[in-house]
Amino acid sequence: MMMNQLVPHQDRNKEAKKNEWEPYIDNAGTCLGFTGEDYCVIAADTRCSNDSYQILSRHVTKITKVTDKIVLATGGMRADYCTLHKRINYQAEMFRYKNKKEISLSGCARLLSNILYNNRFFPIYAFCLLGGIDEIGQPVLYSYDAIGSYGKSKVGAVGSGGELVEPLLDSIILRHHRQASVVPTISNEELPTTRGEDGKPIIPKGIAIEYAHQALVAASERDIHTGDFAEIYVITKEGVERHMRELKAD
């Protein structure tokens, strides 16, 4: 008798919890980034979905160009990261207006951290990768959590497919966790034979673009929230290049 009385009560609690207001929604998708010898690659898919596996849009950008040497990619809640992109672009524009020069990559990294940290008590639901060319001409990638903690990294991935992509980048870009005799065959182009001071192959920019594309292809095969198109930005001293590639559309 007591069990019969308890079950409806539990059901009511579950129904009440289900109908609670939730300020966040994860619109998912995957963003990745990595640095090369003289370039930084930032890439993301263009799918926007929700927790019910509905595709809300197939043509949503998760990337914004802050300056000709700085690019920001963001996963998480679309409403939040669109607002964040507007704020960071506005601050960069004000810096340009007041100082008659572009904001530096390290300055932009600190600015983004401050914006996220200032909202720590009601966090901006956004997970960021900031990449570009720094003041001495070196490619740098910063990765962030939702409350502004950040650090430099050679590879990074965020979003619903981030856990799938990052080990792949570790293996392909950094040559971690693999035997020296194993060589990637992602691109039809000739594989790099030039090696850096650490003995690891230097990856040409053209092959790096294909690596970014194929990493997102791999994520789209396993993650239903990733797909449609890959938007790939390459940042060099000369400026920013944008490339589009197709992904799975189902």
Q: Which backbone phi and psi does 46 adopt, to 5 degrees? A: -115, 15
Per-residue CA distances from 32 to 62, 107, 190 (Å):
11, 21, 24
Contact (CB, 8 A) for 108 and 65: no
Distance, in Å, from the CA atom of 12 to the CA atom of 197, rounded to the nearest integer, reads 64
> What angle is formed at CA 107 by the lines to CA 102 and CA 112, rounded to 5 degrees?
110
**84: Cα separation from own chain's centroid:** 14
Residue type present at position 127: F
User: pLDDT value at position 152?
Assistant: 96
Q: Would you say the pTM of this structure is higher than 0.75?
A: yes
Instruction: With H, G, I as helix, E, B as strand and everything else as coil, classify residue 201.
Output: strand
Q: Which backbone phi and psi does 207 adopt, to 5 degrees? A: -70, -35
The length of the chain, given as a count of residues: 250
| Strand 229-236 relative to strand 239-246, pairing | antiparallel
- Residue 85 CB-density burial (10 A; 0-12 exposed, 13-18 middle, 19+ buried): buried
User: pLDDT value at position 209?
Assistant: 97
User: pLDDT value at position 185?
Assistant: 53
Contact (CB, 8 A) for 72 and 78: no
Nearest Cα to 223, choosing from 240, 190, 248? 248
Read off the tokens for 150: 């950040």
| CATH, domain 25-179+211-246, list 3.60.20.10, 3.40.1390.10, 3.80.10.10, 3.40.50.300 | 3.60.20.10
User: pLDDT value at position 111?
Assistant: 97
Read off the tokens for 76: 């998480």
pLDDT in tens, the chain (250 residues): 444 454 455 555 655 556 677 889 999 999 999 999 999 999 999 999 998 889 999 999 999 999 999 999 999 999 999 999 999 999 999 999 999 999 999 999 999 999 999 999 999 999 999 999 999 999 999 999 999 999 999 999 999 999 999 999 999 999 887 665 555 554 444 455 566 666 567 899 999 999 999 999 999 999 999 999 999 999 999 999 999 999 998 7
Residue type present at position 30: T
